[in-house]
Structure 1
Amino acid sequence: MHPLKAIIFDLDGTLVDSARDLQDAVNVLLAEEELRQVDLDEVKSMIGDGVAKLVERAVSATGGDLSRLPALVVRFLQIYEANASRHTEAYPGVEETLAGLRSLGLPLAVVTNKPYAATIGILEALGLRAYFEAVVGGDTLPERKPHPAPILAALKHLGAAPEAALMVGDNYHDVQAARAAGVRAFAVTYGYSHKPHAELGADRLIDSMSELLPIAADAAAA
């Protein structure tokens, strides 16, 4: 096992709980379309594959017109990015863990399918931006997770080889992207997974972000 030299994090469902703000934006959009509102659990089941897929799932679930999806995605982004961090919070232990990882000398990155502008806005609002040397959003490259390209782009920026890196996420596309990039993968057991956590194929499951620090310290010293 190669010593750990860098860690990449997913955002939604891993570092931050953004479901309430996403629900609010979805419901504003649905109200404009005269469609029914969706509850928090419904929205959580729709999160994870980027904004377009979230809007598609919400519109489909409420009987809307999917032929207008591109315009609805644009409108959703207008609504969401205006209030992307109103209710969004970092999960317990996240900031302390990030600070600890940086104190170990580990460079960190965020690779998310959320648009870059909204990602930066949330990280800045929560005081987390300074911990990350690289941020790759869902619109940064032509490809998104589960494609390995975003992870490989982050690693290039961090100056770390795939075999010396770790991806931490909450969903199947995080693990798939890590596998495709040759990176080891951990999954958190909270968040917005669309599958049972045991079926994600991760190298390890962690129940809280605080569990990561001692594991990373041992791996970095290996």
Structure 2
Amino acid sequence: MTTDLARSRFDAVLLDLDGTLVDSVRDLMDALNAVLRDEGLPPVDPAQTRAMVGDGARKLIERALQAMGGNPARAPDLLPRFLAHYEPIASRHTRPYPGVVETLRSLTGAGFALAVVTNKPAQATRLVLDGLDLSPLIAVVVGGDTLEQRKPDPAPVRAALRQLGATADRAVMVGDNHHDVEAARAAGVAAIAVSYGYAHRPVHDLGADAVIDDFRDLPAALRALPR
């Protein structure tokens, strides 16, 4: 695989977390339901949680409050409580998608620099990566609270590139949702979308350069993108 990957024009891969590297719905749902219970509101189910994920913890809380009859304006005040529930269980049920670990190892072995660029808070992101033994494979983490801006703003992508010492023309963003593709486009970075994640719209309508159905297809997609 190393020889094949050498034919790619990329040397840096930026990765979304939830819905791209890991399936985190159960742990997010459990923390969210603890907050909703504290607010006297009914719980959300896995399908509802899945549809709410992708734009950071505060937006997740806001969407849950809206859906369950609460006050969405309470979301900023409830964020610390949500994180207090979530961080201790961040990797309890969360697992990498099939092929993620071996593919990341192959990429790092081939000399690729890897970063996680996510709208999830940075501390929670690191807890997930640590809990799943993915941290040694990831050189840089840019979370949803690392900067004032979050995806789809290109600033987090550019920050990751700076920290990796990479250039936009030799980097690709891999994600499951529209904000991943939009951030990549705005930063001048190629985009690959995964079809198995938490997309809020049809994945083939996101405008990515390629769509993969399995994370193990990423090396082939990297090779196939034009130089």
TM-score (norm 1): 0.96
**How many Å separate the matches in 1 of 2:162 and 2:74?**
37
Contact 2:27 2:92 in 1 (8 A): yes
Q: From 135, 139, 150, give the equivalent of 1:144.
A: 150
CA displacement at 1:83 relative to structure 2? 1.0
**How many Å separate the matches in 2 of 1:189 and 1:84?**
23
CA displacement at 1:157 relative to structure 2? 1.1
Matched, 1:177 2:183: yes
Matches within 5 A, 1:126-165: 126-165=132-171
Matched, 1:40 2:10: no
**How many Å separate the matches in 2 of 1:195 and 1:99?**
30
Unmatched 5+ residue regions in structure 1?
none
Matched, 1:69 2:75: yes
Contact 1:134 1:154 in 2 (8 A): yes
- Give, as a single letter, the amino acid of the residue that structure 1 aligns with 2:179: H
Q: Hey, what does 2:220 align to over in structure 1? A: 214
Q: Hey, what does 2:13 align to over in structure 1? A: 7
- Give, as a single letter, the amino acid of the residue that structure 2 aligns with 1:97: T
**How many Å separate the matches in 2 of 1:108 and 1:91?**
17
Matched, 1:111 2:105: no
Distance 1:147 1:62, change over 3 A: same
CA displacement at 1:218 relative to structure 2? 6.1
- Give, as a single letter, the amino acid of the residue that structure 1 aligns with 2:113: P
Could you list the structure 1 runs, at least 4 aligned residues long, displaced by more than 2 angstroms after superposition: 65-69, 214-220
Q: Hey, what does 2:4 align to over in structure 1? A: none
- Give, as a single letter, the amino acid of the residue that structure 1 aligns with 2:65: V
Q: From 25, 41, 53, give the equivalent of 2:59.
A: 53
CA displacement at 1:152 relative to structure 2? 0.5
Contact 1:27 1:37 in 2 (8 A): yes
**How many Å separate the matches in 2 of 1:162 and 1:85?**
32
The more displaced of 211-220 and 14-23 is 211-220
How many pairs align? 220
Q: Secondary structure at the match of 1:143?
A: coil
Q: Secondary structure at the match of 2:169?
A: helix
CA displacement at 1:217 relative to structure 2? 5.0
TM-score (norm 2): 0.93
Q: Hey, what does 2:174 align to over in structure 1? A: 168
Provide the identity percentage: 54
**How many Å separate the matches in 1 of 2:99 and 2:141?**
20
CA deviations 1:165-187 (Å, max 9, x no partner) are: 00000000000000000000000
**How many Å separate the matches in 2 of 1:129 and 1:141?**
21
Q: Secondary structure at the match of 1:185?
A: strand
**How many Å separate the matches in 1 of 2:74 and 2:11?**
45
CA displacement at 1:85 relative to structure 2? 0.8
**How many Å separate the matches in 2 of 1:119 and 1:65?**
27
CA displacement at 1:76 relative to structure 2? 0.8
**How many Å separate the matches in 1 of 2:184 and 2:18?**
17
Q: Secondary structure at the match of 2:211?
A: strand
Unmatched 5+ residue regions in structure 2?
1-7
Contact 2:12 2:114 in 1 (8 A): yes
Q: From 157, 179, 195, give the equivalent of 2:201.
A: 195
**What do you get for the CA RMSD once the two structures are aligned?**
1.4
**How many Å separate the matches in 2 of 1:218 and 1:189?**
18
